[in-house]
Structure 1
Amino acid sequence: MSSARERLTRLLSLVPYLDAHPGADLEETAGYFNIDSDTLIDDLQLLFVTGRPGHMPDDLIDASWEGGKIYISNAEEVSVPVRLSAEEAGVLVLALELIDTLPGLDTQAVRTAAEKLRLAAGENLHTPVEVSPIPADEELMTFLKQAIDAEAAVEIDYYVASRDELTRRIVAPSRLVPGADWYLDAWCYSAQAPRRFALSSIRSWNSAVHPPLGVGDQQSSAHEVTMTLAPDGAWLADELELSEREYFANGEPSVRIRFLVHSVDWLSRFLLCHADVITDIDDSDAVEAALQRLG
């Protein structure tokens, strides 16, 4: 049995279809809407109490299906196919604009779909629906996407409005995030910690020749680490926003994660904070640095 939402959606499509195909065959119409003929007759009977406010006989839709041929009348106000409003289409266009910024997609197909949606939604307005995506410097966006794909460090001049200060930093970009502005999530070698940077505050950018060595950190270059978490620590995989993880049972269910680390100093502090749920790690330098901190 169809839900109320499914039935309403079907009726909103059924009336325009029957209005455009007078004398439509009952069985063929049922097949077209992927329902049986009894369900279609139930829908047609519902049309008798459907129409304009007032509920007078001439306000309601009339339907007949004698002889297996369907005819409807008095359905002019609901005979137009359902269309997206300009606002609904605008949200979808904006979503496509954001998808267009993601790496590894067929950008031409996304842009074509967005343009068709603009035109289709704007037919009644006789003008395409205009939606402005979040503004961002195209050259900067391209540069950062390439750096993310290459897992490369970059040098940026970043304006800190709260201090009215222009700072120079070397960062390792990890992802671009849309919001009120575009933001860059990255490891900041200056702060020796992850940071989020607003693209509108990046004044200049260049490829970094090499990441700097942090204070007391003799292995600052990016490297991958494999770590095993106890069941109580499985949430750390979500906290680190990791997609590469493996669940297995060895006495108790555990999770093995693999991720990119830009600083042994950061990793050693991470180990000290979560030592009770980390059962194995393949980075001996980080373990030694953590032990030195304890000593």
Structure 2
Amino acid sequence: MTGPAGSKAPASSGVPSRLSRLLAMVPYFLAHPGISAADAAADLGTTPAQVMTDLNQLWMCGLPGYSPGDLIDLAFTEESIEVTFSAGMDRPLRLTATEASVLLVALRALIDMQGLLDTAAAQRAIAKVEKAVGTSIAITDEPAPPEPADASAGPMSTVRDAVRLTRAVSIRYYSASRDAVSERVVDPVRIQVVDGASYLEGWCRESEGIRLFRLDRIDDARLLDEKAVVPASPDSGATLALFNADPQLPTAEIEIDPSLAWVMEYYLIDPVADPEHASPDPDAPIAATMTYGSPDWFTRFLLGFGGRIRLQNEPDVARDVADRARAALRAYGDDV
């Protein structure tokens, strides 16, 4: 073997990235014989010193048996690197059909989660994977045409930039619980996915607390020329402020038909009884409490379910619901 005495490679916390680099180095140096460590480092995204350390490790790798004729052989100095025996590692690793399928499914799922990532970048990645695997899996040869531009792509892109650049952002936001649009300045923490929807988590200067803002309800976003400053590091387990009842908001007692139990997963509704002590009768209505922001919105909400969600208190709202229901029936005249 024609290399300097191998020194023990330092432990690396970036094991996956280093492993990927080591696997790519042999075919890379075969394609660039005589390249210097500095030039190779620039291409591989590392430092010349790390390249030399990696080469020392590669020099002792090879096929099972590990006799001299099976080990990778290299001739290298900082000025020139050359592979004299590749031990069969002549080509970069390729994705298997299963690996490519998993990757494509994951990328397409990320595209469906609006605002979580740059859709155009994900589509380019899909096209590259499809081209790389060719016909080894059941996919079309050409990438799918790009989807129509989303009207909310602008605000979503600005929000992603705010998170990436750690900059404060001004947003115009529709709050479903309050049925109102407001202007807010937010110091972003991260973008996260909750129950299939993408949210901006950040410090709301108006509320003076950590809040979640659903990305598809941000009508407009403007990047501010100031760094984001979060007063305290939020506990990740306590940041779902969107789903915690605001003590300033009213709470109503309601009764829900069992067929509509699913609404409790989408609104600020909590069952009164512990599920383990609920009525054994499957047809029994579900007693619950619901937090809402606007009486007008709450009235429309109740009317939309046609009596299958019934109000147990809040007489003013109940009266409004009854009046609007009677007015709707009168509109049908004699056909009722």
Report the TM range for the smaller structure's normalisation: 0.3 to 0.5
Q: TM-score, normalised by structure 1?
A: 0.46
